[in-house]
Structures are given as structure tokens and as C-alpha cells.
């Protein structure tokens, strides 16, 4: 395959380990995932896709999910499915701020894509999602619990941007006893939802998570209860 972009090798200073190869996207390659143009990647396989990055280390899934281009839901879903068929490891890749594609999907309110990413991580069909085995659940939960550089999970992000349907999808396969801990700002997803006075997200969080952490900045347990009350009867 003829490469039309710069090939840059970054070494982490340990000569016995293989170098980490990063291939930076040129303009046309960066545009292709933004508009869901899978044809540009027909000749790419796992190693090339895994190393292909934007300057801020977004992979092709990050680029597709963060685009402001007018792209249809079906086009986006098809692109992501075909890319993940070629290179499933992109699901857990992080960009320069430590965010996975799931973080980006949560930030932009792509609830159907969040479900697709979960299904891809479980290697399951829509029907299989109703009866996942423990290995599949553990793989999904690993992705759900990944944190960025600010210690935000995708659930923190979805709560911050008020994407109720994304909150619902993210909690569908989570262990109800898992406590979502605070991020670097000492915020839990519940605190974030209460601060936004997001009644629907609060109802979902309180219903789905039995061991939910209630913390906020400066130990504001009383304050979060007050803010939850302001949001309505939850």
C-alpha cells in the first residue's frame, strides 16, 4: 500500500521494546472519517489503522464522533462498524487528553453509537446483548470505567452535557454495586447531574446504581441533596 502521509516513529527510550509507530493523517485522511467515507480505508488493516492519528492523537473513531459535519446516523454507524471490524483495538485507544471514543460519543450525545460501541466491545449481536456472559460483561465494564486525564468516565461526561439517553445506555450493563468515584474536581456523576438540576438523569442514576457515590467538591453531601431536591422529587 502506498502511503500518502508522513510516517513518524516515536521512541519511549527503552531500546529493547518496539517503537510506538504513529502515522499522522493528512488533510484528506482526516476529512474521510469526519464524513463517514469508508472507501478511503479499504486498503487499511489493523496495524495501519491502529497507528493512524491526528496531531492531538485522535484515531479515526474519535474524528468521526467529534465531527461537526452533517453526517447521517446510518452513515456514522456503518463507518464505525466497518472500522471496528478491521481494528477493534481502536475502542480503547485514548487521545491526547486520555479520552476513548466512548467519551467522545458521550460528550456529543450519540446514544445509538454508545450502544454500538458497547455491542462491539462485547462482540455481541443486538439479541446477544440481553444475555451477555461474564467475560463479555467484564470487557464492557472495563471500557465504561476508563477515565480521562481529569478522571472522568464516559458517565461523568454524559451527565455534564445532559445527555439522558446516553446516561441510560452507559448504565445498562454496569454493576449496580459499582460506585462511580469522583473526578479531579471531586465530582461524581450524581453530583454533576444534581448541579445541572437534571431530574431525568438523577432518576436514572439513583435507580440503576445502588452503591452510588454522592460526593461533590469540598465534601458537599448536604449540598448535593439540596440541589437534587431543587431538581424535583427524586
Task: Give per-residue pLDDT as tens, 75-89.
Answer: 999 999 999 999 999
Per residue in 105-153, pLDDT tens? Answer: 999 999 999 999 999 999 988 778 878 899 999 999 999 999 999 999 9
Dihedral-angle region of residue 38 (phi above 0 means left; psi in -120 to 50 means alpha; beta otherwise)? alpha
| Mean pLDDT for the stretch of residues 202-229 | 65
In this prediction the pTM is 0.84
pLDDT of residue 181: 87
pLDDT of residue 7: 34
Query: Is residue 218's pLDDT more than 60?
Result: no
Q: What is the mean pLDDT of the chain?
A: 85
CATH topology of domain 23-176: 1.25.40
Query: Is residue 232's pLDDT more than 90?
Result: no
- The share of the chain scoring above pLDDT 70, in percent, equals 80
Query: Is residue 233's pLDDT more than 90?
Result: no
pLDDT of residue 71: 83
Mean pLDDT check: name the lowest of 120-129, 157-166, 176-185.
Answer: 120-129
∠ CA 108-206-114, nearest 5°, is: 25
Task: Give residue 3's pLDDT band: very low, low, confident or very high (50, 70, 90).
Answer: very low
Query: Is residue 165's pLDDT more than 90?
Result: yes
Amino acid at each position: 500500500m502506498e502511503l500518502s502521509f508522513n510516517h513518524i516513529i516515536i521512541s519511549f527510550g527503552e531500546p529493547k521494546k518496539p517503537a510506538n509507530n504513529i502515522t499522522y493523517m493528512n488533510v484528506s485522511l482526516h476529512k474521510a472519517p469526519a464524513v463517514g467515507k469508508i472507501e478511503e480505508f479499504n486498503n487499511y488493516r489493523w496495524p495501519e489503522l491502529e497507528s493512524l492519528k491526528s496531531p492531538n492523537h485522535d484515531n479515526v473513531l474519535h474524528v468521526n464522533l467529534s465531527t461537526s459535519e452533517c453526517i447521517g446516523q446510518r452513515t456514522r454507524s456503518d463507518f464505525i462498524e466497518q472500522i471496528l471490524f478491521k481494528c477493534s483495538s481502536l475502542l480503547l485507544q485514548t487521545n491526547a487528553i486520555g479520552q476513548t471514543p466512548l467519551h467522545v460519543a458521550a460528550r456529543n450525545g450519540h446514544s445509538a453509537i454508545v450502544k454500538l460501541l458497547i455491542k462491539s466491545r462485547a462482540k455481541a449481536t443486538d439479541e446477544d446483548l440481553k444475555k451477555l456472559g461474564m467475560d463479555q460483561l467484564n470487557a464492557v465494564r472495563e471500557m465504561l470505567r476508563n477515565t480521562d486525564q481529569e478522571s472522568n468516565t464516559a458517565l461523568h461526561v454524559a451527565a455534564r452535557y445532559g445527555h439522558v439517553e446516553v446516561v441510560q445506555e452507559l448504565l445498562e450493563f454496569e454493576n449496580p454495586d459499582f460506585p462511580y468515584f469522583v473526578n479531579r474536581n471531586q465530582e461524581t456523576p450524581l453530583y454533576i447531574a444534581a448541579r445541572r438540576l437534571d431530574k431525568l438523569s438523577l432518576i436514572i442514576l439513583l435507580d440503576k446504581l445502588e452503591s452510588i457515590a454522592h460526593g461533590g467538591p469540598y465534601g458537599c453531601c448536604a449540598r448535593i441533596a439540596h440541589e437534587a431536591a431543587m431538581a424535583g422529587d427524586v
